[in-house]
Amino acid sequence: MWHASILTLFPEMFPGPLGLSLAGKALRDKIWRCDARDIRAHATDRHRSVDDTPCGGGAGMVMRPDVVDAAMDAALTEGVPRPALFLTPRGRLLDQALVRELSAGPGVVLLCGRFEGVDQRVIEARGLREVSIGDYVLSGGEVAALALLDACVRLLPGVMGAAESAEEESHGASALLEYPHYTRPVEWQGRSVPPVLLSGHHAEVARWRRAEAEKITRERRPDLWARHTGTETSARAIAG
Ligand code: 6GU
């Protein structure tokens, strides 16, 4: 069973929305396990403190290395060794390549930061991989952890349908953005479904979708487009 341990000051936030829908079904099917742990359970003083003022001064509070380390120890004694990640806006951006790597392994231990941060020494001592889910600031790592877990769980064997899995595989690291989708009614509020989609010509439909996916990727994500064209070029070179 893929095993997620989450170290947080708000364990009630898990599994949260992941207890519903696809991930919730997978939880009930014992495809994965969601083990939320309260960092505060590892506090040692009579005030149960998990944070302290920053050395050097400044605003906010910093999570104590000894408390975080004890929480990590407790999580890692369960089952097989797993990669430990610290969710922070200063981390490396999460992408589908890292999601695939984590999903293919035994699970993850996720440290959710609150306050201004976590003492640098425990990040280094534990070799925590620092990961961010995007260039904006959340009030804590919990919502980011939920996003990461959702992305990993949907790739676990038995979670998605075979069709979606095959689709995922074919995209590889050089995904284009999706082409636009349409369904009935064919005419709605004066807007029509593009006629090619009603033509029954499968090859033309595929060509149209490809062109639309390329157009939207070029317009919205020049970074993805550059990576895509680069990969296409090297794939052709390898194929000779
Ligand atoms: Cl991982 N944490 C926080 N607090 N904010 C974020 C984030 C993580 N990723 C993007 N914004």
Q: Is residue 133 marked as binding?
A: yes
Q: Is residue 135 marked as binding?
A: yes
Hey, what are 2's tokens?
């893929």
Closest CA to 8 of 147, 136, 141: 141
Average pLDDT value over all residues in the chain: 94
pTM of the model: 0.93
Residues 6 or more apart whose Cβ sits within 8 Å of residue 136:
89
For the question of an ipTM over 0.90, the answer is: yes
Q: Is residue 113 marked as binding?
A: yes
Residue percentage of the chain with pLDDT more than 90: 87
Query: Does the pLDDT of residue 236 top 80, yes or no?
Result: no
38-56: b (≥16 Cβ within 10 Å) or e:
bbeebbeeeeeebbeeeee
Q: Is residue 31 marked as binding?
A: no
Say if strands 2-8 and 32-38 run parallel, antiparallel, or are unpaired.
parallel
Q: What is the pLDDT of residue 30?
A: 98
Q: CA-to-CA distance for 109 and 64, rounded, in angstroms?
A: 18
> Residue 62 pairs with which residues in a beta bridge?
52, 117
Q: What is the pLDDT of residue 171?
A: 60
Q: CA-to-CA distance for 109 and 85, rounded, in angstroms?
A: 6
Say if strands 117-118 and 32-38 run parallel, antiparallel, or are unpaired.
unpaired
Cβ–ligand 1 contact at 135 (below 6 Å): no
| Residue 9 exposure: Cα atoms within 13 Å on the Cβ side | 16
Query: Does the pLDDT of residue 119 top 60, yes or no?
Result: yes
CB 129 within 8 A of CB 85: yes
pLDDT tens digit string along 159-194?
998 677 767 665 655 689 999 999 999 999 999 999
Closest CA to 91 of 115, 71, 108, 112: 112
Query: Does the pLDDT of residue 108 top 90, yes or no?
Result: yes
Q: In a mutational test of the pocket of ligand 1, which residue from 135, 143, 148 has the highest number of ligand atoms less than 8 Å from its CB?
A: 143
Cβ–ligand 1 contact at 147 (below 6 Å): no
Q: What is the pLDDT of residue 124?
A: 98
Q: What is the pLDDT of residue 240?
A: 57
Q: In a mutational test of the pocket of ligand 1, which residue from 114, 137, 139, 150 has the highest number of ligand atoms less than 8 Å from its CB?
A: 137
Asked if residue 15 has a cis previous peptide bond (ω within 30° of 0), the answer is yes
pLDDT tens digit string along 32-79?
999 999 999 999 999 999 999 999 999 999 999 999 999 999 999 998
Q: What is the mean pLDDT of residues 212-240?
A: 85
Cβ–ligand 1 contact at 143 (below 6 Å): no
Q: In a mutational test of the pocket of ligand 1, which residue from 93, 94, 138, 139 has the highest number of ligand atoms less than 8 Å from its CB?
A: 138
- pLDDT category at 114 given cuts 50, 70, 90 is confident
Q: Domains of the chain (ranges plus CATH)?
A: 2-153 (3.40.1280.10), 174-239 (1.10.1270.20)
